[in-house]
Amino acid sequence: MDRLADALDRLNTGVAHVVRWLAIAMMLVQVCIVVGRYAFGVNSIAAQESVLYMHAALFMLAGGYTLLVDKHVRVDVFYAKASDTVRRRIDIFGHLFFLIPSMLALLYWSWPSVRNSWRILEGPLSVGGIEAVFLLKSLIPAFCVLVLLQSLAGLIRLLSRQTPDA
């Protein structure tokens, strides 16, 4: 089971290593937009939307990696001072009763919209924009799947680990 968890970790790490470059690309495109608009009087809706697409892809596709490196949002009031055993129990409970059900619900409820968007190859958000809203909407189930897989990897490790103060 540890090999499965390691493989899921590698998947999310690989995705994160690819999408992290979107931060630099997003910055460069935004600089070009500003320079183009104020120095040359040129504007592009598609360029502006590309920043939105990159921003969405960066944050949605890096969700699983964020969980892997434990940088996700956590209510730390009790967790920070808890023993390893209590933290482990909180994490297991959180995965089983909050994270996994919420990702499954989001996947279930977003799927019809994503499917319909692909069916009609949904067009741009604005006139002159990028003709690929269906790709943007596809980030939602991709996010859910990557986070679910990372949650599975985390659960495998949590359930196989024995803590000394048990």
Residue 165 lies in a domain: no
> How far, in Å, CA of 94 to CA of 103, rounded?
12
Q: Is 135 inside any structural domain?
A: yes
Parent domain of 113: 2-160
Query: pLDDT tens digits, residue range 110-142?
Result: 999 999 999 999 999 789 999 999 999 999 999
pLDDT of residue 121: 97
| Number of domains into which the chain is organized | 1
151 burial via Cβ count (<10 Å: 0-12, 13-18, 19+): buried
Residue 105 clears pLDDT 60, i.e. is over it? yes
Residue 78's alpha-carbon distances to 38, 45, 86, in angstroms, are 50, 47, 10
